[in-house]
Amino acid sequence: MSIFKDLNKDIEMLVKEAGYDIENLSLQISGRKDLGQFQLNDAMTLAKKYGKNPRQIAEDIVLKLSNDSRFTNINIAGPGFINITLSDNYLIEVFNTVLNNINSCIDKQLAKKIIIDYGGANVSKALHVGHLRPANIGEALKRLAKLLGNNVLGDAHLGDYGRPLGLVILEIKKMYPNLAFFDETYTGSYEDVDLPITNADLEKIYPLASAKSKEDEEYLEEARKITAKIQNHVRGYYDIWKRVVEISKADIKQVYDRLNVNFELWQGESDAAEYFPELNEIFEKSGVLEESEGAKIVDVKKETDNSPMPPLLFLRSNGTLSYQTTDLATILERKKKYDPDEIWYFTDARQSLHFEQVFRAARKVKLVEDRVILEHIPLGTMNGKDGKPFKTRDGGVMSLKGLIELVKEETKKRIDTTTISEEKRDKIAEQVAIAALKYADFLPYRGTDYIFEVEKFADLEGKTGPYLLYSTIRMKSLLAKAKDIKYEKMHMLNSEIEREIAITILNMPNILTKSVEAKSLNEIAEYLYKLTSQYNKFYNENKILVEENELLRESWLILTNVVYNINNLLLDVLGIEIPEKM
Ligand code: ARG
């Protein structure tokens, strides 16, 4: 149980002693610091329950609180709002508890098994700016849900199956018609067959093939046939497809690595397709499939709908699977392999209809038990100044690599060249760039669009990743300079800002719980900024290392230690690395 819950329980006990039974106390940080650190609004609710005057109830509660030395300056405002301030001894206790066990800032949840689908990279296409938010936010929520005690798996869910792969392999065939993969008389192993294609080639081949297919019907038809060959595991075609997937996957992994995004599972749409026969049987048996112009569809409308809900395309007339069906097969695959309690999908908001159709069809045939939660979490986009998804200077799709480089150019300018050697500079510029990009992406609510502003994101001042890193590194170096301290316990508080820091720390469990419930990191991003700025104010007001009062110096360093540990923990949740120096 967290320090905040402990405090709530203690107050609940006192309210009970005053004669009132209460279940969920409403203890809140007060917006009116002049009246008290916390506010309690329960007298109003209790008044209804007990048919009494709220003011009378508040007075009864205050009497009990006043007899407890942990609470000071207790007063009643208006009809019965109770203002409470915590004693310094209690706040010192807060620091000491967190110092000994940082888990006291966390309220664990009832452990659930959760699969998070937040990759969605497409094989042979470069990761682009639209892949940033799902990866970034999905990874952080995975880390947060784990921290809160859940059993969580992240899945990259690669787009490795559809027509784009048919197009790419067709174009490779045009470039290298004599490759053994395309030679029907070849009977040897493909393992040692050289494929003279790099990832950079793939990234050029796909747009080329895609453009050709739009102009040339025959070319498109050929690509369709190759797609079918891949999906039917036809020798040669299936083998070159596997090789292409490997080449592309290695590059995709590298980009995700740069963003500190790590998937436990690297399943692809192709893995799910293996479950199609079983899925098909479930759908056939349940009688929900309808024929429509040679295709099979599922009606997923509901009477309560007030916007159009098109049917789900289950099987195309040419026998290939739709994007929706691949997702249905993926649900079946996940159920059989992992039996999750919840599946969360992070994608751009534009895929909302897709997921609504998929979930409705899944429920119709009871693909998973009713208790299993399927949730799409729609995300806003990162836009350019024109309000449209951020593009390259010449108006093209911005790759994720390109985006990272752009931010890195900016953070490089701000690296301290006097203390950081040239070999280290690039690595540090990269770490700071990733922090800048990620933090800026967390700051707005996840459903809200925002604008890419590189100078602002990379700034060392203000609500930015670099500000947090710079401040946290400074805490670390301060701690390193005070080697004589044993970091056992805080002795005293000396100023108002120290008390404010304690209150902020007390509130941390609430921020974590709210974030996981909202599936958004904006509150954690704001929280880190608040705690860090409060700490910096404290830092600037005091000469910590040269303080002559030993007990005070030790107390200040302990405060620093606690804030440093919290920053470390939360930056790690956000997937932001702290460089050695910057
Ligand atoms: N590959 C897809 C795309 O680029 C995203 C996949 C999202 N996940 C899912 N289970 N559909 O649009």
pLDDT digits 0-9 by tens, 120-163: 999 999 999 999 999 999 999 999 999 999 999 999 999 998 88
C-alpha pair distances (Å), 452 with each of 400, 411, 457: 13, 15, 8
The verdict on residue 504 lying in a domain is no
Domain of residue 364, CATH code: 3.40.50.620
Q: Give me 379's structure tokens.
A: 């995300």
Distance 319 CA to ligand 1 centre (A): 21
The verdict on residue 466 lying in a domain is no
pLDDT value of position 441: 98
- CA 381, CA 481: separation in Å to the nearest integer? 43
pLDDT value of position 244: 97
Q: Whole-angstrom distance between the N-terminal and C-terminal Cα of the chain?
A: 37
Q: Give me 67's structure tokens.
A: 């007899």
For residue 366, is pLDDT > 90?
yes
In this structure, are 182 and 47 located in the same domain?
A: no
Coil, helix or strand at residue 178 = coil
C-alpha pair distances (Å), 283 with each of 195, 265, 295: 40, 27, 14
Decide which of 225, 258, 291 is a domain's last residue. Answer: 258
In this structure, are 277 and 345 located in the same domain?
A: yes
In this structure, are 242 and 313 located in the same domain?
A: no
pLDDT value of position 417: 86
Long-range contacts of 42-46 (CB under 8 A, 24+ apart): 42/15, 42/82, 43/79, 43/80, 43/81, 43/82, 44/79, 44/80, 46/20, 46/22
Q: Encode pLDDT of 314-324 as tens digits.
A: 999 988 889 99
In this structure, are 233 and 316 located in the same domain?
A: no
Decide which of 192, 225, 258 is a domain's last residue. Answer: 258
Number of the ligand 1 atom closest to the C-alpha atom of 131: 4
For residue 15, is pLDDT > 90?
yes
Q: Are the beta carbons of 407 and 437 closer than 8 angstroms?
A: yes
In this structure, are 119 and 71 located in the same domain?
A: no
The verdict on residue 117 lying in a domain is yes
Give residues with Cβ within 8 angstroms of 361, minimum separation 6.
288, 298, 300, 312, 314, 324, 328, 367
The verdict on residue 152 lying in a domain is yes
Count CA within 13 A, CB hemisphere, residue 176. 15
Q: Dmax of the chain from CA atoms?
A: 94
Q: Encode pLDDT of 499-508 as tens digits.
A: 999 999 999 9
Rounded mean pLDDT, 572-582: 96
Residue listed under structure tokens 């192709």: 270
Number of the ligand 1 atom closest to the C-alpha atom of 158: 1
pLDDT value of position 31: 87
Q: pLDDT band for position 422 (50/70/90)?
A: confident
**The pairing of beta strand 81-86 with beta strand 113-117:** unpaired
Residues lining ligand 1, Cβ inside 6 A: 117, 120, 122, 157, 159, 327, 330, 345, 347
Among protein residues, the one with the nearest Cα to ligand 1's atom 1 is: 120
In this structure, are 197 and 249 located in the same domain?
A: yes
Q: Encode pLDDT of 179-223 as tens digits.
A: 999 999 999 999 999 999 999 999 999 999 999 999 999 999 999
Q: pLDDT band for position 483 (50/70/90)?
A: confident
In this structure, are 181 and 241 located in the same domain?
A: yes
**The pairing of beta strand 113-117 with beta strand 312-315:** unpaired
How many domains are there within the chain? 3
**What's the 3-state SS for 392-410?**
CCCCCECEHHHHHHHHHHH
Residue to mutate, 270, 351, 358, ligand 1, most ligand atoms under 8 Å from C-beta: 351
Decide which of 258, 285, 315 is a domain's last residue. Answer: 258
Q: Please provide the size of the chain in residues.
A: 582
The verdict on residue 476 lying in a domain is no
Question: Residue 173: which domain range?
Answer: 163-258
pLDDT value of position 287: 96
Distance 464 CA to ligand 1 centre (A): 30
In this structure, are 186 and 139 located in the same domain?
A: no
Distance 240 CA to ligand 1 centre (A): 23
**Strand positions, DSSP E, 32-101:** 38-40, 71-77, 81-86
pLDDT value of position 568: 98
Q: What integer best gives the mean pLDDT of the chain?
A: 95
pLDDT value of position 109: 92
Q: pLDDT band for position 484 (50/70/90)?
A: confident
- CA 366, CA 360: separation in Å to the nearest integer? 10
The verdict on residue 397 lying in a domain is no
pLDDT value of position 23: 83
Coil, helix or strand at residue 266 = coil
Among protein residues, the one with the nearest Cα to ligand 1's atom 12 is: 120
In this structure, are 224 and 305 located in the same domain?
A: no
Q: Encode pLDDT of 372-410 as tens digits.
A: 999 999 999 999 999 999 998 888 889 999 999 999 999
For residue 299, is pLDDT > 90?
yes
47: amino acid identity, one letter: A
The more confident residue out of 320 and 440 is 440
Q: Are the beta carbons of 574 and 260 closer than 8 angstroms?
A: no
- CA 2, CA 108: separation in Å to the nearest integer? 8
The verdict on residue 377 lying in a domain is no
pLDDT value of position 416: 86
In this structure, are 13 and 149 located in the same domain?
A: no
In this structure, are 137 and 276 located in the same domain?
A: yes
pLDDT value of position 394: 87
Q: Are the beta carbons of 353 and 323 closer than 8 angstroms?
A: no
**Can you give the pTM of this predicted structure?**
0.96
Rounded mean pLDDT, 254-278: 97
pLDDT value of position 319: 83
Which of the residue ranges 19-33, 131-145, 350-364, 509-523 would you say has the lowest mean pLDDT? 19-33
The verdict on residue 435 lying in a domain is no
Among protein residues, the one with the nearest Cα to ligand 1's atom 11 is: 327
